[in-house]
Structure 1
Amino acid sequence: MANHTFPDRFLDSLTSEPGFNKENFINAHASESSPTSIRLNPFKASNIKTDTQVPWCAEGFYLNERPSFTFDPLFHAGAYYVQEASSMFISHILYSIRDSDTDPLRVLDLCAAPGGKSTLLNSALQNTDLLVANEIIKTRVPILMDNLNRWGTSNTIVTNNDPRDFAPLKDFFDVVLVDAPCSGSGMFRKDPDAMNEWSEANVKLCHHRQERILADIYPALAEDGYLIYSTCSYSHQENEDILDWLCSAFDMESIRIPLQDDWGVVESQSAGAKAWGYRFYPGKVKGEGLFAACLRKRENSGQSNYKSNAQQKLPAKELDIVKTYICNADDFYLFKVNDDWLAINREHKESLNALHRHLYIKKSGVRIGKLAGNDLIPDHELALSNVINKDAVLVTDLTKDQAIQYLRRDNIDITPNGKGWSLMSYEGLALGWAKLLPNRVNNYYPKEIRIFSQKPE
């Protein structure tokens, strides 16, 4: 990528930005390809061969070459997530601010789709912690749900709301991540089309949008709670200037995050409040452009009463059937939405009820399935989850070719090893359900997420 291909005035606008080196920046975009990196799922053991570790993320690894992820069954099983390396720094921030003996956390990823940072946060949380992943744009919610379903945990809730809808949930969340919509200059190397969208006017527009989002979500952050703010922009208007605004408009304290010198991350401070920020430049780090910062809220927005005695009356016989499909079933709060049975960690019942009163919930914990008489029609979420009791179901192990047939929703070339619902498994990880019949196999992999593309040469 030559110098003249950057948008007009773009490079000039970065001259005074902390850590910016024009020559190094141009060379990185001209001569270096965007590195490929993945992050392993700590909740699903696999035998994936990894190369060099991402220095700020224990589960993150660079790959020497980019494989066809579409045709890797382990990707569809949720064994890993394909994620840009710089953005994995968010987990380092979370680990840095969390005390080992802290109470369970309620964490919000406000601008969550497609789900990379949600699964990143989820990997750093315990079952007793709750993750709420919100996406304002309705059409982007399905991909967020799919990625969290693959991750397999039961301590997640997905919502589809504007940030202002969270205002009644005063002091509710201990950690809020705002990966804000931005002008996107940090993605120029990975996505050259992003250059067509960049302008100084758009940077200004994004700055005002970021302020609105942050002001809307501020009441929902608890006193002494942490705001993690990030963008994929280099512009100080969207980064350090936002930190100054947060510290002046609200009672917030900047948190300094520990770094190692060999990471190549540039530490900055805002002009007014001297708030700490962390800049990632291609050429200095093995990753794309990122800005991240962390602040602590020092005031109380006023408590709300979240406790609820709401309890569904569930048929004992149905409850007993559903429980057989769940490991440690007594650890879960089981409930119904229409005909679907769902399970979420028991600790999150009150939080779920509080969120339900104010937000549009799209996913709660794990969808177990529907009952037809004494039989469960299992849901795809149950197949991919870590709550499933595999001793209660038939499991069919597939070769890679068979797994691809299954993921394409084609006929599967296997001899059934039983009859009824069976978990389709590849290298010990579940892919979904099929129904085994005496003379055929009915493929129940969801149509909307099946592999559409042709296999590469």
Structure 2
Amino acid sequence: MQNHQFPANFLDSLSNEPGFDRQNFIEAHQKSESPTSIRLNPFKKAESKTGEQVPWCAEGWYLDTRPSFTFDPLFHAGAYYVQEASSMFIAHILKYIKTNEPVNVLDLCAAPGGKSTLLNSALTPDNLLVANEIIKTRVPILADNLTRWGTANSIVTNNDPKDFGGLTGFFDIVLVDAPCSGSGMFRKDPEAMDEWSPANVNLCHQRQERILADVYPALSEDGYLIYSTCSYSHQENEDVLDWLCSTFAVESVRIPINSDWGIVESQSPEKKAWGYRFYPGKVKGEGLFASVLRKRESSGNLSSTKSNKTQSNKSDKELDLIKPYVNDPSAYHFFKVNDDWLAINKQHKDSLNILQQHLYIKKSGVRIGRLAGRDVIPDHELAQSIIINKDAFEQTELNYAQAIEYLRRDNLNITEAKKGWSLMNFEGQPLGWAKLLPNRVNNYYPKELRILTSPRPSAKEREL
């Protein structure tokens, strides 16, 4: 940060923002580094190697030093997600708005997937998560991160917010982590300062209003809208809340917070809508604004449409070969996309059919694999899922050096394992597939995910 200067007029523009302390803010950016934090995957129960807990997220932990995550097999196994601590506040919000009834949840601007995996952690199989990314090139990383998280109750889409307008009242919770001017990331990403300007703040404000207006019909009556940015500017935060309260029939929801956390509670000037501001120096994290609104009107109802497709006898026979590889297959709806078999929690079958009619779907549930004759060729998604029946496969436990070789898609020398398809595990966590043959090992780790960098980490770097 020492080599970067705040943009002209930036600090002056924040002088009247709630809770802003100019000197404390400057010192936080000049004298302290962005803390490193991770959030554990509650579905994979890996051994936690953690330090101080993030106070507003039970599964969030600060690390004393930043390791080389690229060279940690548990990262690739989806045992945890590297996420900025302030962003984990969404987990705290969910404790106060999520009902016990099944809910449909939308993360509208989802890539790379931090808040999607956080939302997913709070959901049961009865709940459905739709993670959408507007920018096509950012969709693969979102899909990969949800694959690592391992559940079957998520769907990844690639749509503009206006495409959700036809899904009237479909979602009970909508998270809009809106594109913003990015001032909250200045400490973590100093280059973001080069793009900041008052004009860009105003442009972001207009974009945020358009996004919210486009998605609003998709929120159910009495449903919750979570709005967040990584900006400090009131134009992108409290002013947007006032606009929402003036334009739509919504009410602000106040979220209880602990005064020791250092979060600044604010209210919008006109409608007194509640917001929560995070400032480096006051919290152990980066800049964030978050708020919750509850919809008090109906945008109409979406008629449920059930699929008329029926399984052919051939498909029934194929399913008999597929189902043994899934734990409790009666809990899932199985379907084919081209030659691949997929599974999603059974209660979301009709929802999937509805979404297919309105959205461009990039990933649904868990891809199980395909058949070659009577042999199942398992998919990488199955290996990293929590629905896999591990007893149906041989498993090979890799040491650290072998795991890195596997993740680099290098040749492996494994002689003691049984031949055939094998789950390649590290500390009990599946990384992917390999096929063990009498004289070699075929490494099936996906080419697009392999580690490309060459430096080997030290022992200290491997400590989490």
Q: What's the TM-score bracket when you normalise by the shorter of the two chains? A: over 0.9
Alignment of 1:100-139 (within 5 A): 102-139=100-137
Amino acid at match of 1:224: D
Which residue of the partner structure matches residue 152 of structure 1?
Answer: 150
Q: Distance in 2 between matches of 1:195 and 1:52?
A: 30
Q: Distance in 2 between matches of 1:312 and 1:343?
A: 16
Which residue of the partner structure matches residue 14 of structure 2?
Answer: 14
Amino acid at match of 2:190: P
Q: CA offsets, 1:219-274, max 9 Å, x none?
A: 00000000000000000000000000000000010000000010000000000100
Judged with a 3 Å threshold, the aligned counterparts in structure 2 of structure 1 residues 122 and 435 are, in CA distance, closer, same or farther, namely same
C-alpha displacement at 1:311, in angstroms? 3.1
Which residue of the partner structure matches residue 178 of structure 1?
Answer: 176
Matched, 1:371 2:375: no
Does structure 1 retain, via aligned residues, the 8 Å contact 2:369–2:376? yes
SS of equivalent residue, structure 2 residue 116:
helix
Which residue of the partner structure matches residue 24 of structure 2?
Answer: 24
Q: CA offsets, 1:187-237, max 9 Å, x none?
A: 000000000000000000000000000000000000000000000000000
Q: Distance in 2 between matches of 1:266 and 1:142?
A: 35
Which residue of the partner structure matches residue 413 of structure 1?
Answer: 413
Amino acid at match of 2:251: E
Q: Distance in 2 between matches of 1:3 and 1:10?
A: 17
Q: Distance in 1 between matches of 2:330 and 2:354?
A: 22
Which residue of the partner structure matches residue 209 of structure 1?
Answer: 207
Alignment of 1:325-364 (within 5 A): 325-364=325-364
Which residue of the partner structure matches residue 49 of structure 1?
Answer: 49
C-alpha displacement at 1:371, in angstroms? 0.5
C-alpha displacement at 1:94, in angstroms? 1.0
Does structure 2 retain, via aligned residues, the 8 Å contact 1:3–1:26? no
Q: Distance in 2 between matches of 1:310 and 1:226?
A: 32
SS of equivalent residue, structure 1 residue 342:
strand
Q: Distance in 1 between matches of 2:176 and 2:89?
A: 14
Does structure 2 retain, via aligned residues, the 8 Å contact 1:416–1:441? no
What do you get for the CA RMSD once the two structures are aligned? 1.0
Gaps of 5+ in 1: none
Does structure 1 retain, via aligned residues, the 8 Å contact 2:307–2:353? no
C-alpha displacement at 1:3, in angstroms? 10
Which residue of the partner structure matches residue 262 of structure 1?
Answer: 260
Which residue of the partner structure matches residue 197 of structure 1?
Answer: 195
Q: Distance in 1 between matches of 2:317 and 2:455?
A: 46
C-alpha displacement at 1:25, in angstroms? 0.1
SS of equivalent residue, structure 2 residue 166:
coil
Does structure 2 retain, via aligned residues, the 8 Å contact 1:416–1:436? no
C-alpha displacement at 1:145, in angstroms? 0.5
Q: Distance in 1 between matches of 2:262 and 2:307?
A: 51
Amino acid at match of 2:124: Q
Alignment of 1:234-313 (within 5 A): 234-313=232-311
Does structure 1 retain, via aligned residues, the 8 Å contact 2:106–2:131? yes
Q: Distance in 2 between matches of 1:284 and 1:104?
A: 37
SS of equivalent residue, structure 2 residue 322:
helix
Matched, 1:95 2:92: no
Q: Distance in 2 between matches of 1:437 and 1:131?
A: 39
Does structure 2 retain, via aligned residues, the 8 Å contact 1:164–1:217? yes
Judged with a 3 Å threshold, the aligned counterparts in structure 2 of structure 1 residues 47 and 23 are, in CA distance, closer, same or farther, namely same
Amino acid at match of 2:308: A
SS of equivalent residue, structure 1 residue 370:
strand
Does structure 1 retain, via aligned residues, the 8 Å contact 2:154–2:365? yes
Q: Distance in 2 between matches of 1:157 and 1:206?
A: 27
Q: Distance in 2 between matches of 1:361 and 1:42?
A: 26
C-alpha displacement at 1:306, in angstroms? 2.0
Q: Distance in 2 between matches of 1:320 and 1:184?
A: 51
Which residue of the partner structure matches residue 422 of structure 1?
Answer: 422
Q: Distance in 2 between matches of 1:351 and 1:183?
A: 35
SS of equivalent residue, structure 2 residue 325:
coil
Q: Distance in 2 between matches of 1:119 and 1:232?
A: 18
Does structure 1 retain, via aligned residues, the 8 Å contact 2:169–2:301? yes
Amino acid at match of 2:398: L
Amino acid at match of 1:124: A
SS of equivalent residue, structure 1 residue 349:
helix
Q: Distance in 1 between matches of 2:3 and 2:290?
A: 27
Amino acid at match of 1:28: A
C-alpha displacement at 1:412, in angstroms? 1.1
Gaps of 5+ in 2: 458-464
Q: Distance in 2 between matches of 1:199 and 1:316?
A: 60
Does structure 1 retain, via aligned residues, the 8 Å contact 2:4–2:190? no
Does structure 2 retain, via aligned residues, the 8 Å contact 1:43–1:386? yes
Amino acid at match of 2:265: E
Q: CA offsets, 1:124-153, max 9 Å, x none?
A: 110110000000111000000000000000
Q: CA offsets, 1:33-70, max 9 Å, x none?
A: 00000000000011131100000000000000001100
Q: Distance in 1 between matches of 2:309 and 2:428?
A: 37
C-alpha displacement at 1:2, in angstroms? 5.5
- TM-score computed with the length of structure 1 as normaliser: 0.98
Percent of pairs with identical residues: 71
Does structure 2 retain, via aligned residues, the 8 Å contact 1:2–1:26? no
Q: Distance in 1 between matches of 2:143 and 2:308?
A: 26
C-alpha displacement at 1:304, in angstroms? 1.5
